Structure formats: structure tokens, C-alpha cells
Structure 1
Amino acid sequence: MFLAINEIRHSKLRYTLVMGVMFLIAYLVFFLTGLAYGLAQDNRTAVDKWNADTILLAEEANDNLNMSMIPLKTFDKVKADQKAYLAQTAGVIKGDNGEKIDVSFFGIDKDQFLAPKITSGKMFDSDGEAVADLSLKEQYSLKLGETVKMAGNDKTLKIVGFTDNAKFNVAPVLYTTLGAYQEIRFETQGTSENTRINAIVTKGVVDSVPKDLEKTSIKNFINELPGYSAQVLTFGFMIGFLIVIAAIVIGIFIYVLTMQKSEIFGVMKAQGISSRYIAISVIAQTFLLATVGVVIGLVATVGTAFVLPDAVPFQVNSLFFIAISLLMIAVALIGAFFSVRTIVKIDPLKAIG
């Protein structure tokens, strides 16, 4: 460690460049990880709020919530520890300023477990009221008591409450009654005979499932959300390749620096300093450079998160960031072992000339 630190002090510019490269790669990896996690969460936070075990969809819907159509009377045929119906549709609302906002409507029963926890305001009481995701307040300045109009029909909803972390397919959710959902999607009041829902969500043991319904775990349901798995895999491969690239870059830098110092290492060997001591110094040097670069990248990423606009789906996940930090440092150390092999093979007599 003594040799590693003193060498860094002696060649500040050279090793600052190495740390700079590590910092830039680490910053890019952390930023992409935050974006990937944020986008993934924006697809599923409303589903996670259910804390449910399974979801029942129409058999022919191919696990697609929007394509599933179930008669409301089927709800009574399902026997489960806890159950709740869900009607969902995408839509567009217009606030008082006329701005158009893409949202997802959830038609629910406020007395069932799908009802969200209210952070401000109150739960809806009628077909003309709704509870909105907090992002509509933070990003679009919608306020309690404000009335929003549906784009495409004359239905209006009054925002009476807000809840947090309620997004579905990257769109903020508006919770309202089943009757309001009928008006929004089918432009009709609906009756008990023709009312349709999209799914039945359950907790605990499900004893009876009608033959025209298919039971799916919440985990599989999330993975089947349009674009969710492809998005997660794409970002996963990008982050993985960047980590590998970081290891290769650091490995090349350390190897080149090692080759440039082969004569010095030869003299050290001739003086009786073991190859093991020199190799440990190189590995310690790599550890210091990688750690400092990764830590600075991590701090810069967290700092960036505070200045990003609310519209950017960036979220910090401490567990992910710590795991990636350790992985990048570990992979950089693996790359440094190529330099160790070179040090072991250095002949003191040839190196001195």
C-alpha cells in the first residue's frame, strides 16, 4: 500500500486521468441504473400498492389487463380469502389550463383492499370524484378540488384526494368508482347486467375460479406488462456491458503503466523486493483508483438526482447502487491481475538492460 500511494502522489496527473475515466464510466452506469429502476417502478408502483398475491383475468386476454373483459356478476363466483375487482383503462385528461395529460383510470370499490392510502384530501364518494397520484400535483400542478375533463367525452372528475407511488404503464393513476369508469370507457352509465371489469385481484388462498378466468401471480402479471420485460432486459444488458468495459479500460491502463515501469520493477527485484510485494502494490493501486472513481461517480449521481426535473423517471435504489459499486471495483481488480502476471515474468537483468 505504501508503494501504491507514493506512486500515485508522484504521478498525480497520470493517475487522475485513470480515476477520471473510472468516474465517468461509474457515473454513466449509476445514472442508467437510476433511469432503468425509475422507469421500471413507473410501470408497476400502482400494482405493488395492492400487496396482492394473484390476479384473475379473462382466459383469452393473454395476461393483458386492457384486453380482459369480465362480467361484474362473475366477481361473486370467485371464492378467496380477500378479493377486489378492478376496471382499468388509459385516457387523457385536461386540467383548468387546458394541458393534456396521459393517465390510467382505475375503477375500484373504495371499501375493498385496492383502495389507496390517502396522503392528502379524502377518498372519493361519488362518480364525479377521483383520487389522483401525487405526480399530477408535483408535475402538472393539479390541486385538491380542481376539476379535470376527459379528452374525447364530456365526463368530468373532481380531484378530492392524492396518493403517492401510484403509476401504471408509466402513467399516473386516477382512482374512481366503477360507474365513472363505465362513463369514461363506454360513455354509458351501465347497469348491473352489462357492467364489465378487467380483473379480480386476490389475497391469500383462492378456493374457486370460474372456468372462463385464468389465475396469474402478480409477479408474472408485472412481467407481462407491455414493454416491461424488454425495458428491464435492455437496460440490464447496457449496464452489464458498461461494467465489463470499465474493467477492460482500467485493466488496459494498469497494464500500460506496468509495462512503462518494467525497468523500475526490474531494479526493485534485483534489490531483493519480491514479485508478490510488487503485485500486491499494483492491486492495491487499482483498488484505490477504482474505489475513488466509483465513489465520486456515486456522489455525482445522487447529486444529479436532486436537480433532475420531476418528469424524469429517475430513482435511487441504495441496494442496487451498492451492489454495482462493489461489482465494478471487483471487476477492475480482476482486470489488474493481467498486470500481475506481467510483473511475475519480469527478468531483472533484462529489465535493467
Structure 2
Amino acid sequence: MIGFLEIRRRKLQFALIGVIVALISYLVLMINGLGVGLNEQAGRALRNFDADAIAYSDRAGLSVIRSELSAETLERVRTESGARESAALGYMAVNYRRDDGRVKSAAVLGFDPGTIGAPPVTAGRGLTPEDGNALLADRQFLKASGLRVGDSVRLSVRLQEREFTIVGELNEGAFFFQPSVYMLRSTWQEMKYGRVDATTPVASVVLLKGDGLAGKRGEGWEAVSKGTAFANIEGVSGQQSTVQALRVFGYLIGGLVIGVFFYVLTIQKTPQIGVLKAVGATSGFIFRQLLIQALLIGLGGVVVAVPLAWLTNEGIKQAPDPVPIAFTTGTFVTTSVLLLAMALVGVLFSGRQVAKVDPIIALGQQQ
């Protein structure tokens, strides 16, 4: 193939183009990884709830921070929603002190053992109704705090502080951009409200399992899907818009840069294109060679960028306070395919120039 032979003959020139393409691919991959990582930090724990819908107070604006449900409202949700299973869940933010003395925040989720609100334990044991001073910690919390299963941690909210023993490890993810810990709902209620009586809220939200639950509402409550609940986490919509804009600009810039490179190369090769046309080559044949070159260079850039992005992510994970970057197989595949597509689209700039080359004029310029 003429396109491949030209790459072999002009190794340095095409290698430099390949480096630029690899750097652009790496940048776009890291932006996509940042988007995935920020989404996980915002509410992977919410996405992992064993529920089909989540019920909030109808006065909370779908904010788990402001949602408070009374015992009467909780009972109405259970009876009026028609859910097969339900579980009350409490939320609050607490502070803890790391080994280095720094104060950090964590998300506390209060649940009842034996319900769909109970998270799966990956190490240690789960909570029982008697574990008032025990909690389950997500592995992200354990890494950030330097603690392990069996250690004790002091959690503080407002002016009170309470010591807990970590009895189990979880892999449920963060909640509201904070590492998560799980405790009994009764303990959560005591910590958040201080004293418990008939007027004290009993839950922040209710997890519901069943069909057709999203969109249901009743006196004092409304239910939405987990996707809607996630989209209404404070800061998520703006964050996703920003990352999406950066991603689109990355694809556009990548395609334009590749297109400009090949447009310049095409102009430089006008005499050679004229020779090819003089011996019978069609504009379509020459343009296909440019497409082959763009595909090879784009593929080479992606092959370099993907492992580089993965290694960068692995290195970042070792930091005490890692940047929230995460990759999935879908992220790598989708990004690679779109980058290759943008590279091919970028070469379309050269198509008109190839078609305009007149072999007689081009040969006259070569003399």
C-alpha cells in the first residue's frame, strides 16, 4: 500500500504526528476518566443500593441532605407505594481525625440489619441489632483513614463525639463525595438528633424494591428512580456538564489537529499526487491512502495512550488523597473508537485538495 510505504519512508515526520495524536488521546482519556471518577465519588454508593426507587420527603426537592421522614410518613410510604420490599435509610455527614491529625469528612448511612438497606460485607462481619457502637466501613474510608477492620474510630457531629469499632469492610463506594460508613439506624438517629422521641425523624429516605415505583407519590413523600436520585445530588449536574464539554472539545480538537496535519502534508505532496494521477490513479484511490495513514497513526496513538492512562491511574491511586479518576473497559473502548473516528473525519479536510490537483499543473510545478 502506498500510504503504508510512505510512513516507512518518512518515519520521523509521521512519528512526530503520532506523538501529538498520542498526547491528545491521553488527554481525552484522562478527561473521561475524571468524569467517571467524579461520578463514583458523587454517589456510587447510591447506585449500589439494592433498590429500584428511592422515596424522599416531598419538601426536600429530592435532596437527601434536606429529606426527613417521620414515623407516620415512613409507614405511608410502605403501604401506599406498593413496593415488595422497603428499607428506611438515614444520612448524615460526620468528621473524623486521620492518623496525621487532619480532620476529614465521611458519609454515615444508617440502616436496619436484615433489610434491603443492609450492604454486602466483603471482609469481617455484618451488623446485628445489638451493635450500637459498631460500624461497617467502605474500603475507601479505610484507605483514607489508615484504619483496618477491628480498629476504633471516633466520629463527631456538631458538639458530640462517639467511638465506634469497625467490624466489617465494604466495597459500596462514596456518597456525596465522601467515603461512606454504615451504622444502625437507631444509632444514626441518636447521633444526628441527640434525643429521640415521637417527633424525631426516623429516616432520610426509603429504599423501595418493585415494579413501577418511580414517579409514585403520596402525602409527604415522592419516589424517583435511582438514576433521577443520582442526577439530583448537589453538584452532579454541573459537574457532568463541565466534563461533557471538556470531552467534546477534546474530540473536536483531536480531529482538527489530525486534519490540519494531513492537510499540510497533502499540500506538500501536490507534485507527487499529480504524478500518481498522471499514471492513472484516481482521487478516490489517493484519498483512501490518506485514510489508511490517518487510521494507522490514530491507532498507534491510542495504543500508546491507553496503557499510559491506565498506569497514570494506578500511580494516582497510591497517593494519600488521590485525584478521583477511574476507568472502565467501556471508557477505554468508547474513547478509542471515537478518537479513531475523529481522526478519519479530520482527514476529510484533505479530500477536496486531492480532488483539485490537476496532473498537468502539478507536473509543471515539479519541473
C-alpha distance after superposition, 1:10-29 (max 9, x if no partner): 11111111111100000000
2:193 paired with 1:186: yes
C-alpha distance after superposition, 1:174-195 (max 9, x if no partner): 110122212321223x145534
Alignment check: 8 A CA contact 1:95 1:148 kept: no
2:280 paired with 1:275: no
How far the C-alpha of 1:272 sits from its partner, in A, is 2.3
Q: CA, structure 1 residues 97+283, in 2 after alignment: closer, same or farther (shift >3 Å)?
A: closer
2:136 paired with 1:137: no
Q: SS in structure 2 opposite 1:156?
A: strand
- Percent identical among aligned pairs is 28
In 1, the alpha carbon distance for the partners of 2:323 and 2:294 equals: 35
C-alpha distance after superposition, 1:98-136 (max 9, x if no partner): 442210011110111111111111112322110011112
Alignment check: 8 A CA contact 2:141 2:180 kept: no
In 2, the alpha carbon distance for the partners of 1:276 and 1:343 equals: 9
- The match for 1:68 is 67
- The match for 1:23 is 22
- The match for 2:121 is 118
Deviates more, 1:253-262 or 1:204-213: 204-213
1:171 pairs, out of 148, 165, 178, with 178
Deviates more, 1:92-101 or 1:102-111: 92-101
Please provide the CA RMSD for this pair: 1.8
- The match for 1:39 is 38
C-alpha distance after superposition, 1:26-67 (max 9, x if no partner): 000001111110110121211122131111111111111111
How far the C-alpha of 1:309 sits from its partner, in A, is 2.7
2:339 paired with 1:328: yes
1:254 pairs, out of 221, 238, 262, with 262
How many equivalent residue pairs? Answer: 351
Alignment check: 8 A CA contact 1:132 1:162 kept: yes
Q: SS in structure 1 opposite 2:95?
A: strand
In 1, the alpha carbon distance for the partners of 2:95 and 2:208 equals: 29
C-alpha distance after superposition, 1:126-177 (max 9, x if no partner): 2211001111222322112222112341322111111003310121111101
2:161 paired with 1:154: yes
In 2, the alpha carbon distance for the partners of 1:329 and 1:264 equals: 27
In 2, the alpha carbon distance for the partners of 1:61 and 1:193 equals: 18
Alignment check: 8 A CA contact 2:99 2:145 kept: no
- The match for 1:57 is 56
Q: SS in structure 2 opposite 1:284?
A: helix
Residue 86 of structure 1 aligns with an amino acid whose one-letter code is L
C-alpha distance after superposition, 1:256-309 (max 9, x if no partner): 000001011112212222222211111111111111112211121112222113
Residue 138 of structure 1 aligns with an amino acid whose one-letter code is K
1:349 pairs, out of 328, 350, 360, with 360
TM-score, structure 1 as length reference: 0.94
Q: SS in structure 1 opposite 2:317?
A: coil
Deviates more, 1:255-264 or 1:73-82: 73-82
In 2, the alpha carbon distance for the partners of 1:288 and 1:134 equals: 42
- The match for 1:226 is 234
| Gap regions ≥5 residues in structure 2 | none
Alignment check: 8 A CA contact 1:81 1:203 kept: yes
In 1, the alpha carbon distance for the partners of 2:286 and 2:98 equals: 68
Residue 123 of structure 1 aligns with an amino acid whose one-letter code is G
| Gap regions ≥5 residues in structure 1 | none
